[in-house]
Structure 1
């Protein structure tokens, strides 16, 4: 049987409708990578509960217990968050959230920057346009699984030409000529054909309408899935939206579990995954008859409104 034969195996992708703090609870110590972009502070109000920046850290850490118990000991958690401007000043809710998570035991392995090469134009009196977002690599241990070889890239032609000109007297480490105090060891470049990328990811935002207010490009989750998992591993997106994380996981021969509390997005994710990967996602509510789907849609919208009301104005 082929590893990815949708006609024979529906366990490759599962989509669950509901709150991830409840739906993820049975998956104890089963997850290799949690990769997600939750609703940002005061954003996507028509689609999800709007959380005020000052309340965001308190709201988000309620997912900590279930994320922690679901993730394997050497698994990773990638969190995409974007800053928020409040009264002309950048609110620090992103850093408050990360600080709370580290206080709960998460190790912040690295900070990544997603450079959005084609960010939207505009004008603001005191600042420039946003051209990037945060991606935080968190883990339960200081040594999570990482496969550098999966993301190495060929050395640029200009760098390769320079390496070819290295003279024997340059092999030994020596102080940088800039006077910075740093030491350079040119020997480390000898024989190299590939190098690690840096932690700034240059990826254009998704330009096409996917039926969701915030679809990130599939290249973004693909990078982290290659870096932090092996084929056959389980990738989870607890705020799955239109299913981009699942598409990336399946394209790279991983399994995926997608959770969203907005029922229409669960259906949308299943449709996108089938169209773009050929995999038929399984899920209790995905094959519901039309009247039941309408009821579930109304129920999810009502639940979102209740959450927004509880969060305050």
Structure 2
């Protein structure tokens, strides 16, 4: 299988080959289950599933002045990515021996490999404990909106896991999203909330992984970029500390991007009338002046003729103003506070990077109609699901770590049809 060969350099651009090799490596560990797997056996298993001849496995070329096997080097690169994602754990006392992990160092319980369990459900949706990035199911109905905040590209991994290199991050996200994109309804949307705090190693220069990911979404997944929504978070803690507070060469970051994609720009379900914003007091005062004067009291031309004030201007009242693509939404919200209380009452760890409900709600309301399907493949505490539930959209959310879903389930118990998954709840308090 010659497609594997270009994978030797970590910077290789063969995306299909990279995704194929990732799956071969994962399959090798899944076959072993919780049994440890040496690298020598890993090479054999991957080569066998990829259809490689023994000569190709052992073939070496000169890399950085020494002879190396491109195949083995590529396998170890994928293995390293899986370690950063928290998918592998080292066997105590054994060098180079790893197995699939179920509980990470922060005490979070990953779903059993190859298994998905219902965490909880309502009449409108279902939360699934499982790894959404592997063998995403055919849902049997079109997805109208994918809204998710995937693991961030950060120097230090968070408890929920995240890749640490740009190329690994791009491959990981594209691989995870590809099966969802194939199930998008015509005109369906996909929204990605990404961090703005990724830097080159040891440098105050920002990483351009976000921009490369956007290009990959367009080039590899065939999507169109509709807009980059700016989530302006005035309550965001100061940072980056190293470069803004200590070295003083950067400004504090005050926003995160939300990239909005679609598979068909002509058929999108978005309608800005569903998310009209209240008029400002200044605008309301101006409207009263227009009404009292029986028409616009002055004429003017702005922007070299682009905007004109006429007697008829501002004489038609509107329900609100069209929202701008800069969304001033603070991080704190009542839904988050309730989740924290619920998690504390159950003795569970708290998720460290939650989207405010108002942001998820804005996206769901703007981009979908009641009765359509919203999917989140990195569900966390089920913020997107909550927004969909409140707005009468169907929803499906996936989350790898059980503790986050169990803590998040409490907020859904007030909705019709709520039920906690029986098998899922075995390891958690059952009382509600």
Q: TM-score, normalised by structure 2?
A: 0.59
Matches for 1:60-99 after TM superposition, within 5 Å: 60-83=173-196, 84-86=198-200, 87-99=203-215
2:256 corresponds, among 111, 133, 137, to: 133
Q: Which runs of 4+ in 1 moved over 3 A?
A: 21-24, 163-175, 185-189, 207-210, 281-285
- Structure 1 or 2, whichever has the larger Rg, is 2
* Residue 184 in structure 1 maps to residue 340 in structure 2: no
Q: What SS does structure 2 have at the residue aligned with 1:259?
A: strand
Residue 299 of structure 1 aligns with which residue? none
Residue 277 of structure 2 aligns with which residue? 153
Residue 218 of structure 1 aligns with which residue? 357
Bigger RCO (CA 8 Å, 6+ sep): 1
User: Residue 147 of structure 1: CA displacement?
Assistant: 2.2
Post-superposition CA distance 1:163-203 (Å, at most 9, x none): 45458997999641xxx435114456331332211011111
User: Residue 270 of structure 1: CA displacement?
Assistant: 2.1
Q: What SS does structure 2 have at the residue aligned with 1:192?
A: coil
Aligned residues of 2:269 and 2:369 also touching (Cα < 8 A): no
Aligned residues of 1:15 and 1:281 also touching (Cα < 8 A): no
Q: 1:283 & 1:73 partners in 2: Cα distance?
A: 33
Alpha carbons of structure 1 residues 285 and 260: separation in structure 2 relative to 1, 3 Å: farther
Residue 20 of structure 1 aligns with which residue? 132
Question: What is the number of residues matched between the two proteins?
Answer: 279
Q: What SS does structure 2 have at the residue aligned with 1:72?
A: strand
Residue 286 of structure 1 aligns with which residue? 424
Q: Which runs of 5+ in 2 are unaligned?
A: 1-120, 240-244, 344-349
Post-superposition CA distance 1:71-113 (Å, at most 9, x none): 1112111110012122211111111101110113101111100
Matches for 1:228-247 after TM superposition, within 5 Å: 228-247=367-386
Bigger shift: residues 182-191 or 259-268: 182-191
2:405 corresponds, among 266, 275, 278, to: 266
Residue 198 of structure 1 aligns with which residue? 324
Q: What SS does structure 2 have at the residue aligned with 1:109?
A: strand
Residue 110 of structure 1 aligns with which residue? 227
Bigger shift: residues 12-21 or 45-54: 45-54
Q: TM-score, normalised by structure 1?
A: 0.79
Q: 1:216 & 1:128 partners in 2: Cα distance?
A: 23
Q: 1:260 & 1:75 partners in 2: Cα distance?
A: 22
User: Residue 29 of structure 1: CA displacement?
Assistant: 4.5
User: Residue 117 of structure 1: CA displacement?
Assistant: 1.5
Bigger shift: residues 201-210 or 216-225: 201-210
Q: 2:136 & 2:297 partners in 1: Cα distance?
A: 53
Please tell me the root mean square deviation across aligned C-alpha atoms, in Å.
Answer: 2.8
